Amino acid sequence: MADVALQPNRVGAAQPARKRSSLQKALKRKSTAAFLMTLPLIILITLLVLYPAFYSLHLATLNKSMQRFVGLGNFEFLFKRDTFWLVVKQSCIFAITAVLFKALIGFIVAHFVHNIPAKGQRKWRGMLLVPWVIPPAMSTLAWLWLFDPSYSAFNYTLSFFGIGPIPWTGDAAWARFSVILVNVWYGAPFFMIMYLASLKSVPDQLYEAAAIDGANWWQRIWYVTLPMMRNIIAITTLFSLIVTFANFDIVRILTAGGPLDHTHIFATWAFRIGIEGSDIPLGASVSLFMVPILAIAAIFILRDVNKRGNEA
Amino acid sequence: MADVALRKVVKRYDDVEAVRGIDLDIADHEFIVLVGPSGCGKSTTLRMIAGLEDISDGDIMIGGDIVNDVPPKDRDIAMVFQNYALYPHMTVAENMSFGLRLKHYPKAEIKARVTEAARLLDITDLIDRKPKQLSGGQRQRVAMGRAIVRNPKVFLFDEPLSNLDAKLRVQMRIEIKKVHQKVRTTTVYVTHDQVEAMTLADRVVVMNKGRIEQIGTPNELYHKPATRFVAGFIGSPAMNFIPCRLEDVGGTLQIRLTDRIAFPLPPARAARYNSLPRTDKLLLGLRPEHLTESHAHLEPGVETFDTVLDVTEPMGMETLVYFGLEGTPVCGRVNPNAGAKDGAPMRLAMDLNNMHLLNEATGAVL
Amino acid sequence: MSSVTIDKAAPTRTVKYGSMSRDRKWALRWSYFFLTLFAIFSLLPPIYMLITSLKSSAEISAATNPWWVFHPTLENYVGLLTSNQFLRFFWNSALVSIFVVTITMLISVPAAFALARMRFWGSATLATGVFLTYLIPDSLLFIPLFKVFALFGDWTGIQLINRWYVLLFIYPTLTVPFCTWIMIGYFASIPKELDEAAIIDGASWFQTLTRIFIPVALPGLIAATIFAFTVSWAQFLYPLVFTTSTDQLVLPVGIITTLIKGDVFNWGQIMTGALLGAAPPLIIYAFLMDYYIAGLTAGATKG
């Protein structure tokens, strides 16, 4: 059988000139096959991600009926509106506060889970990750019901302590708090899981060596745990910053931007203007303002992920 | 079964030449070991024979056919990898039969071949296990079994024993030799371990920096190394290289090691080295076993000298002694009862009948 | 040398052992205490969903203790599960998710294999590009995508907007980059010798993928599948933008747009719907938690 396979090659050996070109052909075949295998991916990314992304740059320069080029007119218009600056401020407050608390809670909970005997960890981890598993649109409905102005289960409970009733979604400050609370509830488990995985990858010998060197509990966290986890903390935080900054579901369902636009963030406001208000160019302009901060976070993530790849 | 030939084979990576023109003829049934330090091109050479790497220049022939552009599957070879490369999701039997199943062999024949190979390697009981359930030595056997069932023209081994512990390595070495004696398939075996090379090979190919330093039987390499590299690489502990020069004293040829130590050469050696220029910087190559404790009745050609030992290493059946000759560290092997002690003076005997003389500049053995 | 270190360490350990174990005991108690608090916080909304879903509208509007069900009833479940509209939402969601998972896997797995194993011109750039695409959020693309599909409809006459299957084109933009990325990681962790052995055994590239890589990277494949399913099932913004007719809606949008009618909130039914909507991901999670977590952590740790 092998002899048969070798037959054509005897001919090839007699013609050394042809042998290189057939090798090139073989190489070409491999890269052609590879290209074909990635082609659907390339088409998808080009047509449905890259093209719309650049198209939105074009859209942002049109007027409402999309028939006239207005240049930077949409941006000028936005800069003059107080609501826009309110949205910018709220997006930043929302994203930074939420990510900070998610990271902090995630870190603490991860340590508690890591502290208990390995046998029980699975069970706790399983329970604590539930908020991340439920579709946010569904769980936010439950929060909406918990925050209900007349039937709030929280206010019912708090009334026994003589507190409230609290206007969870009715008052601007409380509504911001509620939106952040729900986001922290939803996102903290992700941090917890990432930190837990990273905690488990710190070799025990390091802690034993630190303990022998006389490090106390706090010093061990500061000098062993945190440096070992630094990369994962950075990546997780940046990931979460992007997702939180671009969040739509929670604000949309919980407050729909209200009261009086005081909880709108970029995504919800862009939806209100672009889809509900049918001013697609202005909506596109609003969402474009997310690009700089997303790009910065993405660059840092890429750097860290590559660094991680090189270490491994 | 087939012979393998390499003709001026070159491998270039971008601007680095990993293999710089190798000529090698491997006879049918022969067991050839490529040995050398890491980065010497031995694995690249093996992978070119396998077809896993393209060759940049030259020709490779298997069974008389040029296979330069033949894909690995059509070269009729089988390869055993360092980390075994067993398919983790398949049982031992499935691992061994994968290649045959891809070629649509009849089920009965596959079963017969797998059974036969398993019997040969003594892994019949493991046939339904997954690789995860096997020990390192058992995995190694399965990897060999996978090669055997294919009944290929050539076996290729890429450092197959490196992942095993020392004891198992010796055992598997014998195992590999036994299998080769039974199946007689032409074998190319790559290792960095010179002991493995010496014990397994019909002929050893010593490689360094992408070139072949010497090809020969294990004994040839040990007793007649062609270059300083081969002399130093083969044998453990390694051969001593002591700077020296030749001088004529009263009509006899002397070898001078230090200001105080100089010996007349035995007549056979003197005749061989007489034509060398006296000014050349030379190296005396002497294996540790030719540097022993002195005793009463010395043979002709064995000369004695006194030294102070730095360190001694008792090995049980012998004691290794280390000392310096004008800054050059030297190792000798003495009888454990000879009374060698750290820091103690000792009289040693040098067997010049087994000496080598090397040119220090070129590294050639004279 | 090592024996010296052990000798030194041993006595200090025995001296300290008593206090350390007492410390540990307290640390453990505190850990359990706080973990319980966090678990309550985590499980509160789903539990409250369950409580409300078992109440009748009368009991809800009577404003009795919200944390307790006095007259448990399944009327909300019966109501929803016999409503054609709700079943239609569920069916649409299931259809979209299953198709999207299939499309995602058919695109991601071969692409990841090519990117992980068959170096070709631009492959490194493409891998980075895939990762960056994964970072682009839905809220950045929904407006231009909506316009693109509207224009596509105008030019070709094929109206995709307000059809459930338009989501089959859009969801892969969210699932394919991530799944490709983690599959690259899983494939890259397979030792190179394994495909070399397969090549020597006579396998073609395609056979190496289907008979070696896919079975060996099965855990990664399951993790990617779970991810693609959860994302498709939970996606809210795109269906909200692209579908409006009630027979084209998927579950999350359906519940919110049909069960909330003006100011009339039928909370019993809403909570039941939300719980039923959360059930498929929760059930998958309950059975395949380890794969779920592996996929979650793989995004940042592989690569």
Q: Tokens representing C202?
A: 């006579």
pLDDT computed for residue A15 by the predictor: 39
Give yes or no for residue C132 having a pLDDT over 90.
no
**Does A24 contact B at CB distance below 8 Å?**
no
How far, in Å, CA of B29 to CA of B185, rounded?
Answer: 5
- Neighbour tally for A226: CB within 10 Å: 12
Q: Give me the half-sphere count of Cα atoms (radius 13 Å) on the Cβ side of residue C222.
A: 15
Q: Which of A9, A10, A18 to mutate to test the interface with B (most CBs of B within 10 A)?
A: A9
Instruction: Provide the chain C residues 204-223 that lie in CB contact (below 8 A) with chain B.
Output: 207, 211-212, 215-216, 218
Residue of C nearest to B146 (CA): C201
- Neighbour tally for C33: CB within 10 Å: 11
Q: How would DSSP label each residue in A173-184?
A: HHHHHHHHHHHH
Q: Measured between CB atoms, which of A9, A26, A27 is closest to B67?
A: A9
pLDDT, tens digit, 9 for 90 and up, residues A265-287: 989 999 998 888 888 889 888 88
Q: What is the mean pLDDT of chain A?
A: 82
Contact C233 A135 (CB under 8 A): yes
Give yes or no for residue B186 having a pLDDT over 60.
yes
Instruction: Provide the chain B residues 143-202 that lie in CB contact (below 8 A) with chain A.
Output: 153
Q: Are strands B319-325 and B311-314 parallel, antiparallel or unpaired?
A: antiparallel
How far, in Å, CA of A150 to CA of A92, rounded?
Answer: 31
How far, in Å, CA of A306 to CA of C303, rounded?
Answer: 7
ipTM value for the complex: 0.85
**Does C248 contact A at CB distance below 8 Å?**
no
Q: Tokens representing C68?
A: 């307790």
- Neighbour tally for C188: CB within 10 Å: 18
Q: What is the mean pLDDT of chain B?
A: 90
Name the maximum alpha-carbon separation found in chain B: 83
Give yes or no for residue C289 having a pLDDT over 60.
yes
Using pLDDT thresholds of 50, 70 and 90, give the confidence band for residue A307: low
Using pLDDT thresholds of 50, 70 and 90, give the confidence band for residue C24: confident
How far, in Å, CA of B188 to CA of B194, rounded?
Answer: 15
* Residue A115, Cβ density class (10 Å: 0-12 exposed, 13-18 middle, ≥19 buried): middle
Sign of CA pseudo-dihedral B58, B63, B67, B72? negative
Mean pLDDT of B56-68: 90
pLDDT computed for residue A199 by the predictor: 86
Q: Return the residue matching tokens 């693309």.
A: C141
How far, in Å, CA of A177 to CA of A98, rounded?
Answer: 10
Q: What is the CATH number of domain B4-225?
A: 3.40.50.300
**Does B13 contact C at CB distance below 8 Å?**
no
Classify the phi-psi angles of C130: left when phi > 0, otherwise alpha if psi is within -120 to 50, otherwise beta.
alpha
**Does C109 contact A at CB distance below 8 Å?**
no
- The fraction of chain A above a pLDDT of 90, given in percent, is 22
**Does B322 contact C at CB distance below 8 Å?**
no
pLDDT computed for residue A278 by the predictor: 85
Using pLDDT thresholds of 50, 70 and 90, give the confidence band for residue B14: confident
Which comes out higher in pLDDT, residue B274 or C16?
B274
Residue spans in chain A of domains classed CATH 1.10.3720.10: 78-311
pLDDT, tens digit, 9 for 90 and up, residues B192-238: 998 999 999 999 999 999 999 999 999 999 999 999 999 999 988 89
How far, in Å, CA of B356 to CA of B179, rounded?
Answer: 37
Which chains reach chain A with 3 or more Cβ–Cβ distances below 8 angstroms? Answer: B, C
Contact C196 B99 (CB under 8 A): no
Mean pLDDT of A171-183: 91
Give yes or no for residue A4 having a pLDDT over 50.
no
* Predicted model pTM: 0.83
How far, in Å, CA of C36 to CA of C216, rounded?
Answer: 38
Residue of B nearest to A13 (CA): B66
Using pLDDT thresholds of 50, 70 and 90, give the confidence band for residue B261: confident
**Nearest-5° angle of CA A53, CA A70, CA C160?**
40
pLDDT, tens digit, 9 for 90 and up, residues C167-180: 999 999 999 998 99
Residue A259: closest CA among A177, A199, A140, A204:
A177
B169-B175-B176-B181 Cα dihedral, nearest 10 degrees: 150
CB B76 within 8 A of CB B51: no
CB B282 within 8 A of CB B357: yes
Mean pLDDT of A174-200: 91
pLDDT computed for residue C38 by the predictor: 92
pLDDT computed for residue C14 by the predictor: 43
Contact A48 C145 (CB under 8 A): yes
CATH class of the B240-359 domain in this structure: mainly beta
Q: Are strands B4-13 and B240-249 parallel, antiparallel or unpaired?
A: unpaired
Smallest CA–CA separation between A290 and chain C, in Å? 7
Residue of C nearest to A49 (CA): C173
- Neighbour tally for B171: CB within 10 Å: 13
Residues whose CB falls within 8 Å of the CB of residue B181, separated by 6 or more in sequence, listed in order: none
CB B187 within 8 A of CB B180: yes
Topology, domain A78-311: MetI-like fold (1.10.3720)
Give yes or no for residue A10 having a pLDDT over 60.
no
pLDDT computed for residue C20 by the predictor: 59
Cα distances from A11 to residues A6, A16, A138, C235, C285, in angstroms, run: 9, 9, 69, 60, 60
Contact B66 A23 (CB under 8 A): no
**Does B79 contact C at CB distance below 8 Å?**
yes
Residue spans in chain B of domains classed CATH 3.40.50.300: 4-225
Query: Which region among A190-194, A207-211, A285-289, C208-212 has the lowest average model confidence (pLDDT)?
Result: A207-211
Phi, psi for C189 (deg, rounded to 5): -80, -5
Smallest CA–CA separation between C189 and chain B, in Å? 13
**Does B8 contact C at CB distance below 8 Å?**
no
Residue B95: closest CA among B53, B51, B133:
B133
Give yes or no for residue B98 having a pLDDT over 90.
yes
How far, in Å, CA of B206 to CA of B216, rounded?
Answer: 9
CB B159 within 8 A of CB B37: no
**Does A25 contact B at CB distance below 8 Å?**
no
Residue spans in chain B of domains classed CATH 2.40.50.140: 240-359
Phi, psi for A76 (deg, rounded to 5): -60, -45
Residue type at C184? I
Query: CB contacts < 8 Å between A and C, how many?
Result: 290
Contact C237 A34 (CB under 8 A): no
Residues A2-16, buried b or exposed e (16+ Cβ, 10 A)? Answer: beeebeebeebbeee
pLDDT computed for residue B157 by the predictor: 93
Contact B85 C197 (CB under 8 A): yes
pLDDT computed for residue A8 by the predictor: 37
Give yes or no for residue A182 having a pLDDT over 90.
yes
Give yes or no for residue A29 having a pLDDT over 80.
no
How far, in Å, CA of B242 to CA of B220, rounded?
Answer: 22
Residue of A nearest to B54 (CA): A23
Residues B130-155, buried b or exposed e (16+ Cβ, 10 A)? Answer: bbeebeebbbbbbbbbbbbbbebbbb
pLDDT computed for residue C83 by the predictor: 86
- Neighbour tally for C227: CB within 10 Å: 23
Q: Return the residue matching tokens 């952040």.
A: A180
Phi, psi for C205 (deg, rounded to 5): -55, -45
Total count of residues recorded for chain B? 366
